[in-house]
Amino acid sequence: MKIPYRDLSVSDCNLRSELLQAVDRVLSHGKIVLGPETEEFERKIAQFCKRKYAVGLCSGTTALYFALRSLDVGPGVQVVTTPLSWIATLNAVALCGAQPVFVDIKEDLNINVDLIEDAITEKTKVILPVHFTGKLCNMPQITEIAKKYNLHVIEDAAQSFGACDNGIMAGSFGDIGCFSMNPMKVLNAYGEAGVAVTDSEIIYRKLISLRYLGTINKENCLYPSYNGKIDTIQAAMLLVNLKYLSKKIKSRREIAGFYTQSLKDIVVCPQDNKTNHVYYLYTILAPSRDELKQYLFSRGIETQIHHPKLMPNNTAYQYLPKFNMPVAEDLIGKILCLPNQETLTLKETRYVVECIKDFYGGS
């Protein structure tokens, strides 16, 4: 049996024809830039997240960068975040010229909220938690700390669209929530896409300007920025996928539940099925991780390591001071992501489990 980590082709005929029709409509009306589908997408996303405003952007990285810029994060400002995320999180901070401050993680791979207060200084302006793997951080506690120290919260919710805690959606705890809808994400486009959500009209207006090179009405540029708009074609296709999101998340939770049930006595598994997790990644903490990865590959199963390095340990960030993050340093050598795309069959997930059992049983 061959199980790829991910397969981005659209095999469902009905879905494919809906997507093609959506593209066709955009080609027909010709409003290719910020067309009606963009507005509808923003309205639906804001509604879904229970926020006042959503701004469609060209990527999740752009959403993070613009979110920071909209709060005037720049040189001399510190941003408290986690060391374990896709490098986009740190790049966004660095591109603003701000200083990242890393707080260690817990075994659930999210920021250890109990350590945040120690990292706050008079230069801190923003806490930037990442809902890593699609699981929400402890947001009630983070927002409490932010309030106490008068800080802003930007959620890197790139992996967690659709997760919720007590009815509060990912991206709606902080001042700004940032999502990626790149082709790998649970709610995916077929190209690059992202969105930022907020309740603040001031932030909303700034984001609208930032995505259009810092201009107002294309007339006057207030501050240098990029072209960061979402494509109408991607918005149109995202509207189609949004309809099927809850079904997709349900399937992912079922796969996760099966993995956890079958593997929990052999490896460390993420916490069990709850609404606070959409399983963008299904990550196990595996002893002899590299050997397991190789063994699974030899049996036709592709796995991935998200990520091989903590963000500050990348070459670009050698200039940063050293941070105390022993848990992250330890777990980075054990994490392994199993295939968990919603299209996997029970037969396939059983095979993955069987091979992992074979590996540990035989060693």
Given 81, 82, 89, 99, the residue binding ligand PLP (CB under 6 A): 89
Residues 279-338 that bind ligand PLP (CB under 6 A): none
Which strand (E) or helix (H) includes residue 116? Answer: helix 116-119
Residues 218-237: x where in contact with ligand PLP by CB under 6 A, - otherwise, as a string: --------------------
Options 7-15, 29-37, 53-61, 102-110: segment touching ligand PLP (CB under 6 A): 53-61
Options 66-74, 84-92, 260-268, 314-322: segment touching ligand PLP (CB under 6 A): 84-92
Given 138, 182, 188, 241, the residue binding ligand PLP (CB under 6 A): 182
Find the shortest distance in angstroms from Cβ 148 to ligand PLP. Answer: 26
Applying CB under 6 A, does 100 fall inside the site for ligand PLP? Answer: no
Options 29-37, 82-90, 136-144, 290-298: segment touching ligand PLP (CB under 6 A): 82-90
Angle at CA of residue 109, ends 105 and 115, nearest 5°: 20
Applying CB under 6 A, does 238 fall inside the site for ligand PLP? Answer: no
Applying CB under 6 A, does 188 fall inside the site for ligand PLP? Answer: no
Given 158, 164, 278, 332, the residue binding ligand PLP (CB under 6 A): 158
Going from the C-alpha of 295 to that of each of 144, 162, 226, 259, 333, the distances in angstroms are 45, 34, 45, 18, 17
Find the shortest distance in angstroms from Cβ 131 to ligand PLP. Answer: 8
Which strand (E) or helix (H) includes residue 284? Answer: strand 282-285
- Nearest of 132, 147, 141, 153 to residue 114 by alpha carbon: 141
Given 70, 85, 188, 198, the residue binding ligand PLP (CB under 6 A): 85
Find the shortest distance in angstroms from Cβ 157 to ligand PLP. Answer: 8
CB closer to ligand PLP out of 61 and 341 = 61
- Nearest of 338, 342, 332, 333 to residue 356 by alpha carbon: 338
CB closer to ligand PLP out of 102 and 258 = 102
CB closer to ligand PLP out of 42 and 192 = 192
Is-contact 48 169, C-beta < 8 A?
Answer: yes
Is the previous residue joined to 307 through a cis bond, with omega within 30 degrees of 0?
yes
Read off the amino acid at residue 300.
G
**Residue 262: CB partners within 8 Å, gap ≥ 6?**
353
Applying CB under 6 A, does 340 fall inside the site for ligand PLP? Answer: no
Radius of gyration over alpha carbons of the chain, in Å?
A: 21
Rounded to the nearest 5°, which phi and psi values hold at 114?
-65, -15
Bridge partner residues of 220 (DSSP): 216
Go through 118-157 and write b for each residue having 16 or more CB atoms within 10 A of its CB, e for each that does not. ebbeeebbbbbbbbbbbbbbbbeebbebbeeeebbbbbbb
Options 32-40, 86-94, 208-216, 326-334: segment touching ligand PLP (CB under 6 A): 86-94
- Nearest of 207, 181, 195 to residue 67 by alpha carbon: 207
Residues 118-157 that bind ligand PLP (CB under 6 A): 130, 156
Residues 58-77 that bind ligand PLP (CB under 6 A): 59-61
Is-contact 183 163, C-beta < 8 A?
Answer: no
Find the shortest distance in angstroms from Cβ 154 to ligand PLP. Answer: 11
Residue number closest to ligand PLP, CB atom = 60
Find the shortest distance in angstroms from Cβ 82 to ligand PLP. Answer: 9
Number of residues that bind ligand PLP (CB under 6 A): 15
Applying CB under 6 A, does 159 fall inside the site for ligand PLP? Answer: yes
DSSP 300: T
Task: List contacts with ligand PLP (CB under 6 A).
Answer: 59-61, 85-86, 88-89, 130, 156, 158-159, 180, 182, 192, 194
